[in-house]
Structure 1
């Protein structure tokens, strides 16, 4: 009975989220609250296990950093510089911004990267008078592909890296970055071809962009220096995470608090807190509660165990099944709890006689990270971009994204299948 109730609640909430008739934060939190009052789980379980407060804290802190920094005009300055570097041409701009997003997502993390890039993209598209949604969709897709390449790029990789002691930062870079780069190139060419007729500007608009002086947008003064300095220090903290061993959320919170202290005279704390994307944060909380319901009745764990049953312990079959199931599953349910359920299952494979199971870890990482591109709630970065776009009155609609994202996932998984087979599985 509990299993049916949880599954039905999840499906109904998911349906309402897809239709976008009611605010998604209300739907997600409402579904989570329903599971709470019906006794599926208790409040202690929700606050101590299901809600990932590290993710919430990271998002909250980065929103504060970006909010204060954006008031200095530095994002407009960067936006104009980027637009001028491609002479204001929309399609090359899409490729350049997506590539920069992928690189940033690999060496920071994709949530932080999109928080930094969305204000820049919205500014650029407004300047050259083109629709921002294609750029935002490309931003989401490239952030998830870029995040696949390293240990710190995407939460699933961080979880796998923490669970498997012998896999280092360089192991992720060597084994995942080549296929992530190849997928990025293929997908960017596909997106450029798909959007080439929808993104165009006149020669007069192009000329106007080239005549803008980027420095006119900068509000020079102490706040600019403080904001950029703290933001760069925070980013440096992310990059040095493997060396410093300081949690990413702790780095972000320290940066946000420091910047608020340094700029409290210029920017009142209450005004700063008003600029936080509260809808996005509460949507995350509700989503964690909904997925926690699936976890509490054992649905995710049962799904993971079925993989072992159907493959009978054969390594190539197991690796490819993990890749595809995690890829498809992660598109519709946040990939974090799925990866959490799969880690102990894969670890058990060694007791069944499998000697080298690294291929299984790479399958899980590729599937979970790349599968997040299927829908707007498949990965944390997707939800953040959608929230920022909605606040800017440039919404990315659920089905509009699925029409692009789902084919991208299928292509990505086909490429990953080929890569895994010839790199790791051909000799088994």
Structure 2
């Protein structure tokens, strides 16, 4: 009976999350409450066994760090300054926006990056009479590709990194950054020719951009220098955490608390906390609770057993299957709930004789992050960009985006398959 109840609650909740008719955090929390009411698990089990508080704390800390730094106008200054450096030329601007998005997504996180960049890019393209679609499309693609490269870049990577202790910040860079860079270059090579003819600069408006005082965006107070210093220290802490033997979450929380302390005179903590994306945090809490119901009812075990039977226990076939399943499903549904459901499935593979799971973890990360480019609901960053564009009167067409997204994701998965096979599976099976 528990299996049926947990399955129904999960499927119904997932359906409402996909349709976005009701706030997804409310849906996920409601699903968790139903699991408690039906006795699938206890409150103690939910809070101690199933909700990953390390991931929640890491996300919260990064939100605080970025929220304070954004108040200094640093990110807006960088974006406007770059647009001026290329003198509003459409193709260099498109390349530059893509590079800024990819780097920002890798070092900060992709949702925060698009929240910062999209309003600025929309303003610049309007000034220059340029179509916004190519820029928004490239921002989405670049955010998901850049987010693939590091542990903190994309929520699925954060979840995987917190679930597997030995996968450090440097591990993600070492194993995923090479293929992410490769995909970014291929993206530019494929997409730029498609948009070259449609991007024509409104030369009469270039003067308006060039006359914009980029430095006016900067708030030149001690908070600017404090934010840059603490954010830089935190990122270095991420790089060195394996050598320092300090958990990523501890480093992020320490950075956030330090920045709150040193900027207290300029910026009230209450104001910072009001900018934290609480809806996202509660969505994660509810999501962990939902997946915990599947785990408690034994559904996760059965799903892992089915995958092993399907691939006949072949390690290489399992890794490639996970890559394509995660890639295709993440294009249909948000990759965050999908990865939350798949993490315990991969963990169960150890019980079927697969002692070396790293290639499967990389397959899951690559599939989820790159697969998110297929549709506007494939990743949280996509949804954020679509919402910002619609709010500015430049609505992104779901179908038009999909016509570019699906072929690009198929190409991405083919390249990722070759990468996984050459780097991990050939050495393992030979």
What is the aligned partner in structure 2 of residue 124 from structure 1? 121
What is the aligned partner in structure 2 of residue 115 from structure 1? 112
2:170 maps to 1:162? no
Q: What residue ranges of structure 2 are gaps of 5+ in the alignment? A: none
Alignment of 1:243-322 (within 5 A): 243-322=243-322
The separation in 2 between residues aligned to 1:39 and 1:417, in whole angstroms, is 42
The separation in 2 between residues aligned to 1:255 and 1:369, in whole angstroms, is 26
The separation in 2 between residues aligned to 1:183 and 1:82, in whole angstroms, is 23
Alignment of 1:363-374 (within 5 A): 363-374=363-374
Answer whether contact 1:66 1:116 (CA < 8 A) is retained: no
TM-superposed deviation, 1:133: 7.3
Answer whether contact 1:35 1:293 (CA < 8 A) is retained: yes
Report the CA distance shift for 1:28/1:363 in structure 2 as closer, same or farther (over 3 A).
closer
The separation in 2 between residues aligned to 1:389 and 1:296, in whole angstroms, is 41
Answer whether contact 1:156 1:368 (CA < 8 A) is retained: no
The separation in 2 between residues aligned to 1:269 and 1:234, in whole angstroms, is 19
2:331 maps to 1:334? no
Q: 2:87 aligns to what SS in structure 1?
A: coil
The separation in 2 between residues aligned to 1:387 and 1:245, in whole angstroms, is 40
TM-superposed deviation, 1:62: 2.2
Answer whether contact 1:339 1:368 (CA < 8 A) is retained: no
The separation in 1 between residues aligned to 2:9 and 2:395, in whole angstroms, is 26
Listed one character per residue, the Cα deviations across residues 85-141 of structure 1 (whole Å, up to 9, x for unaligned) are 3322455434333334434555x46x3x54255313422322442677765654454
Answer whether contact 2:56 2:284 (CA < 8 A) is retained: yes
Which is worse superposed, 341-350 or 406-415? Answer: 341-350
Q: 1:334 aligns to what SS in structure 2?
A: helix
What is the aligned partner in structure 1 of residue 4 from structure 2? 4
What is the aligned partner in structure 2 of residue 27 from structure 1? 27
Answer whether contact 1:277 1:387 (CA < 8 A) is retained: no
The separation in 2 between residues aligned to 1:322 and 1:175, in whole angstroms, is 17
Q: RMSD over aligned Cα, in angstroms?
A: 3.8
Report the CA distance shift for 1:18/1:137 in structure 2 as closer, same or farther (over 3 A).
farther
Answer whether contact 1:150 1:157 (CA < 8 A) is retained: no
Which is worse superposed, 34-43 or 13-22? Answer: 13-22
The separation in 1 between residues aligned to 2:390 and 2:53, in whole angstroms, is 23
Report the CA distance shift for 1:369/1:23 in structure 2 as closer, same or farther (over 3 A).
closer
The separation in 2 between residues aligned to 1:317 and 1:61, in whole angstroms, is 38
What is the aligned partner in structure 2 of residue 74 from structure 1? 74
Answer whether contact 1:323 1:363 (CA < 8 A) is retained: yes
TM-superposed deviation, 1:144: 3.5
TM-superposed deviation, 1:80: 0.9
Listed one character per residue, the Cα deviations across residues 350-408 of structure 1 (whole Å, up to 9, x for unaligned) are 57xxxx87655543443344344456676676677789889999898988876655544
